[in-house]
Amino acid sequence: MVLAEKINIMKRESTFNREYWDNYYDKDKTVHYPSYFAEFCQDKYISDSSMILDLGCGNARDSLYFAEHGHCVIGIDYSKVVTKKNIVTSRKLKKNVKIKFIQTDFTRDLDNYGKIDVVYSRFSMHAISENDQKRLIKEVIKVLEVGGLFLIEFRTTNDPLFKCGKKLSDFERFTDHYRRFIDGTKFLYEMIKIGFHVKLFIEDNKLAEYFDEDPVVARCILEKI
């Protein structure tokens, strides 16, 4: 197969790259303590007893953290492997912990989950295409009540990884899996235009360090107005 055909297949499969993530989570080499972003959001922004939708929850490190702090959490991921593992984990939790996991496309049909106070997306926004992002944002603005929060952390075009891998488009790259690097300023403009108030925006490294990785990420705290 020629390179151009491989790249086209990568782009078609890029949105979730299920095989990669199923293999990744099947090896279970991920950490299980909460991310810095989850701790930051819990400490600064999330009200008590919130209904939280965790998009692309992965191994549920943040979903579980929020649930253990008294929130009602729905974790959504496209990987069948990790969703099955998360369901098994949830059955071992205390009865007063309110959490459930769903395996599906998190860019669609968010109104199936009822009233949502917080939509949380850590490192899932840059894993989907721009078209999927546009659809997702419309879903989020629809399900949040006025005053509801959209909490997002994603890799930006200033991340060193932006210069690595196969170039699929101006903002898409493929290394061992697909990533899309997001222009933070453009993203904020789109959020404001659709109906969000920016409570916080930071773009920097030292926010999402993971072993020897130190990506440049954007943290966005957005409130529906």
Domain boundaries, the chain: 1-16+130-225, 17-104
Q: What was the pLDDT predicted at 73?
A: 98
Q: What was the pLDDT predicted at 9?
A: 47
pTM of the model: 0.92
Q: Are 192 and 182 in contact (CB under 8 A)?
A: no
**Residue spans of the chain under pLDDT 70:** 1-16, 29
> 1-16+130-225 — its CATH code?
3.40.50.150
1-16+130-225 matches 17-104 in fold = yes
Q: What was the pLDDT predicted at 95?
A: 83
Q: What was the pLDDT predicted at 15?
A: 56
Q: What was the pLDDT predicted at 30?
A: 72
196 sits in which H/E element: strand 196-204
Q: What was the pLDDT predicted at 102?
A: 97
Q: Which CATH number fits domain 17-104: 3.40.50.1950, 3.40.50.10860, 3.40.50.300, 3.40.50.150?
A: 3.40.50.150
Query: Which ranges of the chain would DSSP assign to H, the alpha helix?
Result: 3-13, 18-27, 36-44, 61-68, 80-90, 130-143, 184-194
Q: What was the pLDDT predicted at 82?
A: 95
